[in-house]
Amino acid sequence: MEKDINEEYQERTERRYVAEGEMKAVFSRLGDQIAKDQGYEDLHGMDAVFRYLIDKYKWLPHQVRSLSIEDLSLLFDDYDSQKKKDSEG
């Protein structure tokens, strides 16, 4: 028996939310690393990610908190390679 359109939609939606949750977990771990790299002693997870963007780009807190997961992925795509380059130079 074929799935109806509503069931397919529900499955796609569920997969999208699971993937988004996994990406948020990745950024939370990245935030912990950023906090360590930047010396943010009292910040962890997404708060450290947001603080880093505020410091780097001079954006306001509401601006960084409104970024989507896709936006964050683009902004941090080269974080590790940039960090390595900064430590070498």
Q: Is the pLDDT of residue 59 over 80?
A: yes
Mean pLDDT for the chain? 91
Name the pTM for this structure.
Answer: 0.79
Residue range 32-45, pLDDT digits in tens: 999 999 999 999 99
Instruction: Break the chain into its structural domains and give their ranges.
Output: 5-88
Tell me which residue has tokens 């409104």: 66
* Whole-number Å distance between alpha carbons of 70 and 19: 11
Smallest Cα–Cα separation from 38: which of 23, 53, 27, 60?
53
DSSP assignment letter at 43: -
Q: How far is Cα of residue 48 from the mean position of the Cα atoms in its chain?
A: 10
Structure tokens at 34: 């950023």
| pLDDT cut 90: percent of the chain above it | 80
